[in-house]
């Protein structure tokens, strides 16, 4: 069942069966008006030509290489791009499934109103704020250091919420509770403090706008069950796939960027060896976009 598909999700979703996923998490482009790009530094041992010194007198050659890029400029047409794709994804949810849409201040309010219209406000469950504290600070306004994740349940009276799978976090004022409670920690609210992907950690793939595994682990564990399928159709570096695979769920990951598909195939090979490389459906090949 584990699959990585290269193509525009509008086409790729049409080929997936109805009701195949219990959980959809998507982190679409945020409409930043830029090309999202990250460069990575690669250090290679080279005693003859290396310009950087290392441990025990070793020399290293350092090269910059592009780890991936995608266009994130939709102007005023953002909803025309996103909503038909979310609608196509909803067909693939089980009747008790959940949809998570990860955005930031630029488009989240417009998408919330559009999704309320599409699904009905009664299906809206939570606005989760992922708060982090990293990067520059504007001297002219409050620095924007949070993203927003909208949760909708297709059936608000029957959905997956594995309360016992919620990880516990430290109390802010542990001195105000008993030592036992302080040691156990508390369950999080709808505001999730979590660092961005550590710049030098094993988790980092170098793909632009990669989201932290900790956020996806929490969503996957609480909102799906083992052997369920999890679908992400703006999958980027495949964070959703890694969270799904490590918790015994299947994954279906779609991205239109060949670099993303290549990063995912490498990243997920050790979790799902049967899922070698990525698929490129004939329809997307024929479009000529992904030659
Ligand atoms: C914000 S990134 C996702 C990052 C991902 N959550 C991660 O942790 O790496 C958004 C992704 O959407 C992809 N994308 C943009 N338009 C798409 C489309 N029409 N179909 C599928 N993927 C698309 C981009 O290539 C990009 O990889």
pLDDT at residue 291 in the model = 40
pLDDT at residue 134 in the model = 85
Substitution site in 88, 255, 284 for ligand 1 pocket (most atoms within 8 Å of beta carbon): 255
Q: Do 220 and 245 fall into the same domain?
A: yes
Q: Do 64 and 126 fall into the same domain?
A: no
DSSP string over the chain: --EEEES-HHHHHHTSPTT-EEEEEE------SEEEEEEEEEEEE-TTT--EE-GGG-EEEEEEEEEEEEEE--GGGHHHHHHHHHHHHHTTEEEEEEEEEEE-TTTHHHHHHHHHHHH-GGGEEEEEEEE---S---SSS----EEEEEEEESSTTS----GGGPPPB--SSGGGS-HHHHHH-B---SEEE-----TTSTT----TTPPPHHHHHHHHHHH--TT-EEEESS-TTTHHHHHHHHTT-EEEEEES-HHHHHHHHHHHTTT-TTS-S-B--HHHHHTSTT-
Q: Do 97 and 167 fall into the same domain?
A: yes
- Is residue 217 a part of any domain in this protein? yes
pLDDT at residue 283 in the model = 66
pLDDT at residue 285 in the model = 63
pLDDT at residue 281 in the model = 79
- Is residue 20 a part of any domain in this protein? yes
Q: Do 27 and 44 fall into the same domain?
A: no
99 lines ligand 1 (CB under 6 A): no
Stated pTM of the model: 0.88
Distance 49 CA to ligand 1 centre (A): 38
pLDDT tens per residue, the chain (291 residues)? 899 999 999 999 999 999 999 999 999 998 888 888 765 545 566 777 776 555 556 655 556 556 678 888 888 899 999 999 999 999 999 999 999 999 999 999 999 999 999 999 999 999 999 999 888 899 999 999 999 999 999 999 999 999 999 999 999 999 999 999 999 999 999 999 999 998 888 899 999 999 999 999 999 999 999 999 999 999 999 999 999 999 999 999 999 999 999 999 999 998 888 776 889 877 666 554 444
Domain range for 197 is: 3-33+74-286
Q: Do 184 and 95 fall into the same domain?
A: yes
- Is residue 270 a part of any domain in this protein? yes
- Is residue 86 a part of any domain in this protein? yes
78 lines ligand 1 (CB under 6 A): no
Q: Do 50 and 186 fall into the same domain?
A: no
208 lines ligand 1 (CB under 6 A): no
Q: How many independent structural domains does the chain possess?
A: 2
- Is residue 291 a part of any domain in this protein? no
Q: Do 44 and 174 fall into the same domain?
A: no
Q: Do 97 and 219 fall into the same domain?
A: yes
- Residue 231, domain CATH: 3.40.50.150
Q: Do 61 and 107 fall into the same domain?
A: no
Q: Do 67 and 167 fall into the same domain?
A: no
Q: Which residue owns the Cα nearest ligand 1 atom 22?
A: 255
pLDDT at residue 254 in the model = 97
Substitution site in 84, 260, 284 for ligand 1 pocket (most atoms within 8 Å of beta carbon): 260
36 lines ligand 1 (CB under 6 A): no
- Is residue 81 a part of any domain in this protein? yes
Q: Do 78 and 51 fall into the same domain?
A: no
Q: Do 279 and 199 fall into the same domain?
A: yes
């Amino acid at each position: 069942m584990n699959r990585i598909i290269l193509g525009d999700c509008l086409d790729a979703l049409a080929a997936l069966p109805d009701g195949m996923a219990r959980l959809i998490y998507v982190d679409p482009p945020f409409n930043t008006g830029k090309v999202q790009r990250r460069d990575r530094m690669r250090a290679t041992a080279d005693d003859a030509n290396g310009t950087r010194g290392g441990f025990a007198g070793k020399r290293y050659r350092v090269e910059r290489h592009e780890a991936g890029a995608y266009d994130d400029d939709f102007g005023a047409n953002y909803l025309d791009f996103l909503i038909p794709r979310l609608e196509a994804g909803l067909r693939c949810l089980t009747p008790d499934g959940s949809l998570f849409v990860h955005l930031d201040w630029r488009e989240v309010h417009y998408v919330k109103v559009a999704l309320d219209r599409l699904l009905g406000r009664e299906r809206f469950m939570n606005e989760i704020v992922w708060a982090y504290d990293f990067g520059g600070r504007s001297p002219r306004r409050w620095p924007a250091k949070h993203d927003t994740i909208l949760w909708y349940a297709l059936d608000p009276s029957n959905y997956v919420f594995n309360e016992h799978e919620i990880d516990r976090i430290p109390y802010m004022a542990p001195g105000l509770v008993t030592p036992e409670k302080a040691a156990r920690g508390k369950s999080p609210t709808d505001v999730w403090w979590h660092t961005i992907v550590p710049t030098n950690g094993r988790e980092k793939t170098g793909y632009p706008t990669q989201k932290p595994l900790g956020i996806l682990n929490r969503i996957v564990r609480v909102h799906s069950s083992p052997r369920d399928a999890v679908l992400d159709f703006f999958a980027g570096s495949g964070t959703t796939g890694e969270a799904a695979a490590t918790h015994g769920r299947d994954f279906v990951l779609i991205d239109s960027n060949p670099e993303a598909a290549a990063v995912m195939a490498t990243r997920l090979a050790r979790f799902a060896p049967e899922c070698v490389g990525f698929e490129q459906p004939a329809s997307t090949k024929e479009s000529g976009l992904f030659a």
